[in-house]
Amino acid sequence: MELIDGNAIAATLIAELKATVAALPGRAPCLALVRVGEDPASVSYVRKKEKTAAELGVTSRVILPAITVTQAELEQLIDDLNADPAVDGILVQSPLPTHLDELAIFRRVDPAKDVDGFHTLNLGKIAQEDATGFVACTPAGIMELLTRSQVDLAGKHVVVLGRSLIVGKPVALLALQKKTGANATVTVCHSGTRDLSSITRLADVLIAAIGRAEFVTADMIKPGAVVIDVGINRVADASKKTGYRLTGDVHFPSVSPLCSKITPVPGGVGPMTVALLMHNTIKARRQRLGPTTR
Ligand code: NDP
């Protein structure tokens, strides 16, 4: 079994991106990070994004509207960022408080600044295999991890657990694309899927994104499979200072001995998500600069 080291692969990608930023003409790319509320995971994700941006030479602008912000006020804020020529990319940290319509906010972002890839147009561009769009960072990170770990999906059976707009659906569409590194046969499973393990056992590559701690067990795996664990779940653990530990959607101790390759949690998909956000921000900057820098 080989561990897919997301930290190492993300570090390589970030070094490459740093060189790209240094070679860009004019001002540095600028990413606006909008966070509403104090959800601890969101606070830590935005801090990580800010830190990685600084490491790369990407400017970040963190905007913290009050938790009481209304839908109209947040939409106005997005409109202002859309119109601001100094901003290349906009990320609205999910989840938003429940009084806000998250999907409407995602759709409000100018598709040309939608570095999170959640706008309808950018999701549609994945289906149309149009490379000018922005691919959501986690699915794009998964594809990058696979490519850089020499896992060619061509002709393989990829089973995706989960059909969210953020992970499951876009990664299934990416694996399905008729291009190098993809071209897989794809099955997507969800909470309505019957006899789940009979399907996951057919997977050459299993991508688990369901948000249930250690849900995938050894009896669900075909020996030799590649397993990508997207899940980030907090499980109570009195032995930790924080009172919890992070675990994936895969029961790593029983599954890993059966796999040819597997991602750990933490240190697998997570670091790639931030790296791909930087990639998208630089892409947005280059697209705004015009064809000569693309
Ligand atoms: P969602 O809750 O939006 O979607 C979960 C999906 O899993 C749904 O499609 C749901 O089915 C399906 N599902 C839930 N329970 C079962 C079950 N028992 N059997 C089969 N399918 C099931 O989650 P996300 O896609 O946003 O996130 C998934 C996980 O990935 C989470 O742990 C999240 O924290 C993590 N994550 C990690 C990221 C990273 O950077 N590493 C980034 C984004 C997410 P249905 O549609 O029928 O409800």
* Cross-strand partners of 93: none
4-40, pLDDT tens digit by residue? 999 999 999 999 999 999 999 999 999 999 999 999 8
Question: Measured in angstroms, how far is the CA atom of residue 289 from the centroid of ligand 1?
Answer: 36
Residue nearest ligand 1's atom 35 by CA: 231
Going by C-alpha positions, the residue among 187, 188, 168, 183 that lies closest to residue 230 is 168
Residue 33, amino acid: L
Residue 146, amino acid: L
| 3-class secondary-structure state, position 148 | helix
The pLDDT value given to residue 163:
98
pLDDT over 90, % of the chain = 97
CA angle 53, 118, 54 (to 5 degrees): 5
The domain made up of 25-112 has a fold known as: Rossmann fold (3.40.50)
The CB of 25 under 6 Å from ligand 1? The reply is: no
Q: Flag whether pLDDT at 292 surpasses 90.
A: no
Average pLDDT over residues 78-99: 97
Going by C-alpha positions, the residue among 134, 152, 156 that lies closest to residue 279 is 134
The CB of 32 under 6 Å from ligand 1? The reply is: no
113-140, pLDDT tens digit by residue? 999 999 999 999 999 999 999 999 999 9
- 116, 204, 229, 249: the catalytic one is 116
The pLDDT value given to residue 129:
97
The pLDDT value given to residue 290:
87
The CB of 163 under 6 Å from ligand 1? The reply is: yes
For the question of residue 287 being annotated catalytic, the response is: no
Q: Flag whether pLDDT at 75 surpasses 70.
A: yes
For the domain spanning 137-269, the CATH number is 3.40.50.720
For the question of residue 48 being annotated catalytic, the response is: no
For the question of residue 93 being annotated catalytic, the response is: yes
Q: Flag whether pLDDT at 294 surpasses 60.
A: no
CA end-to-end span of the chain, whole Å?
Answer: 39
Going by C-alpha positions, the residue among 81, 139, 128 that lies closest to residue 284 is 81
Band of pLDDT at residue 52, cut at 50, 70 and 90: very high
189-238, pLDDT tens digit by residue? 999 999 999 999 999 999 999 999 999 999 999 999 999 999 999 999 99
The pLDDT value given to residue 158:
99
Integer-rounded Cα radius of gyration of the chain: 19
Band of pLDDT at residue 42, cut at 50, 70 and 90: very high
Q: Where are the domains of the chain?
A: 25-112, 137-269
- Asked if 25-112 and 137-269 have one fold, the answer is yes
The CB of 190 under 6 Å from ligand 1? The reply is: yes
Backbone φ and ψ of 63, nearest 5°: -120, 125
The CB of 136 under 6 Å from ligand 1? The reply is: no
Q: Is 34 exposed, middle or buried (0-12, 13-18, 19+ CB in 10 A)?
A: buried
Is the pTM higher than 0.85? The answer reads yes
Is residue 114 within 8 Å of residue 126, measured between CB atoms?
Answer: no
The pLDDT value given to residue 274:
97
